[in-house]
Structure 1
Amino acid sequence: MPSIKQFQVTFDCAEPERLARFWCEVLGYVIPSPPRSQPAEDQGSWFACSDPSGVGPRLFFQRVPEEKVVKNRVHLCVRVGTGLTGEVRLATLEAECARLLPLGAVRVRLLYDGNDSCIVMQDIEGNEFCID
């Protein structure tokens, strides 16, 4: 059986384009050019972004009528502190958190045990993600 080579992460959301543009800023992703045209009745119902290097998964955002009501069962981890430990890791994570706050991200809590750390955050629609 052949292995899966690519996958897409799909977000249910209220504002697809706004959320896609937020994640472009977080991850350095881009809006595919030119965007695929949508029939008039589907305008604004979905939006996508992708890793310009082609390595990371495509992110797809689709409008759904219901609001988010519970914690995510799956979340993204934004890996900015890979290979770092202790205070150096914590400082790197804090700097990334400070960059994301003006974009509309919300800091939820810091998980820190003196060596390893992670900052739990929410995107502009309340979806949890981690900076680790």
Structure 2
Amino acid sequence: MSGANTPQQERPNGEPPLGIDELLERVRAGYARVEAREAYEAARAGDALLVDIRYAALRERDGLIPGALIVERNELEWRLDPQGSHRLPEATSHDVRAVVICNEGYASSLAVASLHQLGLHRTTDLVGGFQAWKAAGLPVTS
């Protein structure tokens, strides 16, 4: 079935819907993303939390980043909201700098947009995700 004849729904403001590429572009325009080496150095210096949102099968297949918090994507907002009753001990304030890491750097950008809505304005994500971390030769454990 071709999508060419499928009518597009309008958004509430009357504009046509966004495609995922445009959505990612808009989201990423709102913050500075970090490269693997920068994330590593910030975490090592105690200036950032690394938050791995990859699902278990990917972590089992590819390994873990030492010291990264493991937070499944569907729990992320509850775990990092400093006002939430289910927050992690590391979620101490809205000023915490967190670097969200997914597998390739796409889902993490959408996660950052959600965290920004919660007031976690220093949250960013890793360009290229875990795969970029690994390709940069940074520490990974099995």
Q: TM-score range by the shorter chain?
A: under 0.3
Relative to its length, the structure with more helix (as a share) is 2
TM-score, L = length of structure 2: 0.25
Relative to its length, the structure with more strand (as a share) is 1
Using CA pairs under 8 Å that are at least 6 residues apart, name the structure with larger relative contact order, 1 or 2.
Answer: 2
